[in-house]
Amino acid sequence: MNQTTLRKEFRLTGMGLHTGRTVTVTVRPAHPDFGIAFRRTDRFNIVTVPALATQVSETARGTTIGSGRHCIATIEHLMSALHGCGIDNALIELDGGEVPILDGSARPWLQQITRVGTREQDAPRHLFTFTEHLRFENKDTGSVFEVEPADTFSVDCVIDFPKSVIGRQTATLASLSQYESEISMCRTFVFLHEIEPLLHLNLIKGGSLDNALVFVNKELGPRQLRRLERTFHKDASQIRVHDGVLNTTDPYFPNEPARHKLLDFVGDVRLVGCPLQGHFSIYKPGHKANASFSKYLIEYIKNK
């Protein structure tokens, strides 16, 4: 199979989750062997940052590549959509430091890629096929990643949040052909007790009940509801807790958190720099562990 890129460019504008700033992203076709790279156009000295795990500089609340004034934050959902659509080459330009959160999933990006279409290029795809079993553990996070030889890219994902309303969940992606219908629309999620301090410090300026599933482990009293009303700019009658989810919308799937973690992994593992063929079994994935695993794979592939 040959490499692919977009038929033409597209633009999306939205708000950054952490900065709250409006950013316009332009995704452009790129020539064969270019790979995927990001470029900030709001800087005087324009630097192109390749989408590689070796460029990851921060993983606290998303995946950030680059450093200093040229860093680009929260790239995982766009990277996931590009991977899910089989894009090998693309240049992503943005006039700010954070990719917009949009609806908290990869679906808006996938819809635009589908709208403009893709085209095959006159160059062979650099697909890496696993021929042996691999196991990688991140002791800091308790995450485990395993790879087995397979005829396609597939993922089994397990998340485990004991003593919470989420608990243990599983999700599966049998092949990238199922990505659009099974994974792309699944939104990011957080626990209310984790984000309350961040909201108080004004560190999630672009967060809302429209772009994340907010899970609640305890019953909310009138005082807390009034505070959330002010925070999310919603009328108290619009804020409800249903099956542990604080939101004005219901989850798309009972296991949407596990599916979203799988979505993030699809984006983060593409930071290896090439498409992969193998079956991945991942336990407790997260951006920090995903980045470490992708760096490990870069070295593994380099030595093969």
Total domains, the chain: 2
Distance (Å, rounded) from C-alpha 27 to C-alpha 16?
A: 17
Does 157 reside within a domain?
Answer: no
CB 243 within 8 A of CB 53: no
User: What are phi and psi for residue 71, nearest 5 degrees?
Assistant: -75, 150
Q: Is residue 230 part of a domain?
A: yes
My answer on whether 95 and 195 are in the same domain is no
Cβ-proximal residues to 77 (8 Å cutoff; 6+ apart), any chain: 99, 101, 102, 104, 105, 106, 109, 188, 263, 264, 267
Q: What pLDDT band is residue 201 in, cutting at 50, 70 and 90?
A: low
* Per-residue model confidence as pLDDT tens digits over 267-304: 999 999 999 999 999 999 999 999 999 999 999 999 98
One domain for residues 102 and 210: no
Residue in 18, 70, 77, 287 annotated catalytic: 287
- Nearest-angstrom CA–CA distance, 54 and 69: 18
121 lies in the same domain as 234: no
The dihedral of CA 99, 56, 184, 260: what is its sign?
Answer: negative
What pLDDT does residue 208 have?
61
> What percent of the chain is predicted at pLDDT more than 90?
71
- Specify the pLDDT at position 204: 57
Is residue 239 a part of any domain in this protein?
Answer: yes
User: Distance between alpha carbon 156 and the CA centroid of its chain, in Å?
Assistant: 16
Residues 114 and 200 in one domain: no
- Distance, CA of 261 to CA of 257 (rounded, Å): 6
Q: What's at 107, amino acid-wise?
A: R
Asked if residues 211 and 189 have their Cβ atoms less than 8 Å apart, the reply is no
What is the residue whose two structure tokens read 């030889």? Answer: 149
**Same domain (yes/no): 10, 121:** yes
**Best CA proximity match to 89, nearest among 111, 56, 122:** 122
pLDDT at 200 over 70: no
Comparing 24 with 205, the larger pLDDT belongs to 24
Q: Does any domain span residue 218?
A: yes
153 domain residue, yes or no: no
Residue range 38-47: mean pLDDT, rounded? 91
Is the pLDDT at 231 greater than 70, yes or no?
A: no
Answer yes or no: are the C-beta atoms of 88 and 110 closer than 8 Å.
no
Q: What is the CATH number of the domain that holds 83?
A: 3.30.230.20
**Which of these three, 125, 153, 171, is where a domain ends?**
125
Tell me whether residue 58 is exposed, middle or buried, using C-beta atoms within 10 angstroms of its C-beta: 0 to 12, 13 to 18, 19 or more.
Answer: middle
3-state helix, strand, coil in the chain (%, to 5): 30, 30, 40
Is 287 annotated in the active site?
yes
Instruction: Confirm if 87 and 113 have CB atoms less than 8 A apart.
Output: yes
The domain containing residue 79 runs over which residues? 2-125
Question: Measured on CA atoms in the order 116, 77, 32, 86, is the torsion positive or negative?
Answer: negative
Under a CB-based contact definition with an 8 Å cutoff, are residues 215 and 161 in contact?
A: no
pLDDT tens across 5-17, in order?
999 999 999 998 7
Does residue 196 sit in the same domain as residue 117? no
